[in-house]
Amino acid sequence: MGLFNLSEIIGTLKDNVSKALKVKGEVELTGSIPSQTAIETLANAVTVPAGGSYDVPFTSQGETESWILINIDQQPWTLRARLPWTTGTYSKQNFFPQRDAHTTIYTVVSAPAASILLDMAAGGGITAPTTMQEAMLYSGSYGTVIRVENGGSSPATVTVKVRRKWRN
Amino acid sequence: MSEGRKQQIIDKLQEIYDGFVPSEYDPEPTMFWLISSYNATGQNIELIGGNWVIENCPDPLKSLPI
């Protein structure tokens, strides 16, 4: 029995694989595709009467995360979004952290209240997330309406922004 | 809104802007700060907001950062 030339065999194998893949020369990819972010103003210092609310249409751009940023100068205030599966019901459980009769005001533009939009809402056997780690499992984006409710006794100034993030 | 009332609001907003005092957390005037300050006067009967300022006021008011 004759001996096989291993290097010849490997060389032939490489050539055949290259031909099969139609590779001409070597291809090398280096680096990584960075995440993308974008900030958009949805409501520019609107005035919401005492006991009133302001609705902001929200359009998904396919982002992985939608952070809703709120500046407001009255309290208490509540943040809601229309549920993904209805056209008329608004829930405060679409966000983490929730802003339910929240008593902190956020008047510094560079330090807004930040909540991530969840692509679900607690109820029907689903438990609301209690940690950011849990909330991130439900982060998502969908077309909805975001509602800011002014529970204070004076008109509120409200700015709403969204920070969208697309992860790799 | 009458032109007279519009000018009255513009004058009041300008007065508020001219009285801005920088602070550690607000180093520059913003649209939020301007409208919030105007709301605090109790005179915002029409409930105007930042877009009204952009559409009706001259610089520097209409160019305030949001």
Name B10's Cβ contacts closer than 8 Å, sequence gap at least 6: B56, B57, B58, B61
| CA nearest to A159, candidates A39, A36, A62, A51 | A39
pLDDT tier, A2 (very low <50, low <70, confident <90, very high otherwise): very low
Average pLDDT score, chain A? 87
| Share of residues in chain B with pLDDT > 70 (%) | 100
Question: Is B35's Cβ below 8 Å from some Cβ in A?
Answer: yes
Q: Which residue has the higher pLDDT, A159 or A32?
A: A159
Length of chain B measured in residues: 66
**Would the pLDDT of A1 be above 50?**
no
pLDDT at site A87: 76
**Would the pLDDT of A68 be above 60?**
yes
What is the count of residue pairs from A and B with beta carbons less than 8 Å apart?
58
Q: What angle do CA A82, A156, A143 make, to 5 degrees?
A: 20
Average pLDDT score, chain B? 97
| Share of residues in chain A with pLDDT > 70 (%) | 82
Residues A114-145 have pLDDT tens digits of 999 998 877 767 888 999 999 998 888 889 99
pLDDT at site A160: 98
Cβ contacts of A159 on chain B, cutoff 8 Å: 31-32, 50, 66
Peptide bond into A155 cis (omega under 30): no
pLDDT at site A48: 98
Residue-wise over B17-47: b if at least 16 C-beta within 10 A, else e? beeeeeeeebeebbbbbbbbbbbeeeebeee
What is the rounded distance in angstroms from the CA atom of residue A161 to the CA atom of residue B25? Answer: 19
Q: Which residue of B has its CA nearest to A39?
A: B66
**Pick among A40, A47, A72 to test the B interface (most B CBs inside 10 A):** A47
How far does the CA of residue B16 sit from the closest CA of chain A (Å)? Answer: 15
Residues A80-107 have pLDDT tens digits of 999 877 778 899 999 999 999 999 999 9
Name B26's Cβ contacts closer than 8 Å, sequence gap at least 6: A108, A109, B33
pTM (two decimals): 0.83
pLDDT at site A15: 74
Residues B14-45 have pLDDT tens digits of 999 999 999 998 899 999 999 999 999 999 99
DSSP A10-52: HHHHHHHHHHHHT--S-----S-PPPEEEEEEEEEEEEE-TT-
Give me the interface pTM, i.e. the ipTM. 0.96
Amino acid at A21: L
C-alpha distances out from residue A150 to A8, A53, A104, A121, Å: 79, 6, 12, 22
**Would the pLDDT of A154 be above 80?**
yes
Cβ contacts of A108 on chain B, cutoff 8 Å: 25-26
Cβ contacts of A71 on chain B, cutoff 8 Å: 32
